[in-house]
Structure 1
Amino acid sequence: MVEEGRPLFVQIAEQVEASVLDGSLAEGERAPSTNELAAFHRINPATAAKGVNLLVDRGILVKRRGLGMFVAEGARQILRTERRERFADHYLDPMLAEAEHLGMTVDQVIELLRQRAQRTP
């Protein structure tokens, strides 16, 4: 799980995000505690807490006093919306800029995408 060059707390947050997105951690379900995350990844609980707090700040997790952290209602949609926006920023915008440099129309780009999609299993 640990990746060089990326802060551990970010990796922890992304792992929880992935569980919410793939449905293995459902909305309303109790999320792993900071101590559980710290023990599992063999990291400092403060580091795990920093990752969890990123998710709380974004409305993905909610704290229930005395009960722990839970996946917020609507968390999956929040994550999908954020990821779609990042996808557009990181992939579509540069692709469209390059297509414009090549003199391609949007319709030509769409057709190329369709052709490529048919080749992938």
Structure 2
Amino acid sequence: MDTSIPIYLQISQFIENEVISNRLTAEDKVPSMNEFSKSMNVNPATAGKGLNELVDQGILYKKRGLGMFVTAEAKSIILNKRRKQFEEKILPDFVEEAKQLNISKEELIQWR
């Protein structure tokens, strides 16, 4: 567990990672708040906050009395969100560091 990231966000990221790696797909049921609470040894409200974040983003939806499920659009939503984060937060620092180290675009492409 990464202590620099709030637990509820770690739960959200776990579900997102399961979706983008195709371990969870559209209409799959995700673990409940209580299951996350027990497995991560956290308060159910904390687990619920992580799951509700995903509901708010359209990645999960609730079926009353049955639990939470992956939406058909989940993977697309996550990929778009993460690409935007990559472009806005990671890439600028990466490009600046490469410039400072005199690493050419061709070298970067070769490292791929």
Provide the alpha-carbon RMSD of the alignment: 2.1
Runs of 4+ in 1 over 2 A off after TM superposition: 90-104
Find the counterpart in structure 2 of residue 113 from structure 1. 108
Find the counterpart in structure 2 of residue 88 from structure 1. 87
Find the counterpart in structure 1 of residue 66 from structure 2. 67
In structure 1, what residue type is equivalent to 2:31? P
- Report the CA distance between 1:92 and its aligned residue: 2.2
* Structure 2: gaps of 5 or more residues: none
**Structure 2 counterparts to residues 21-100 of structure 1, below 5 A:** 21-97=20-96
The TM-score with structure 2 as length reference comes to: 0.86
SS of 2:23's partner is coil
Give the structure with higher Rg (CA): 1
2:76 & 2:40 partners in 1: Cα distance? 27
- Report the CA distance between 1:23 and its aligned residue: 0.9
The TM-score with structure 1 as length reference comes to: 0.80
1:5 & 1:103 partners in 2: Cα distance? 32
* Structure 1: gaps of 5 or more residues: none
Provide the identity percentage: 39
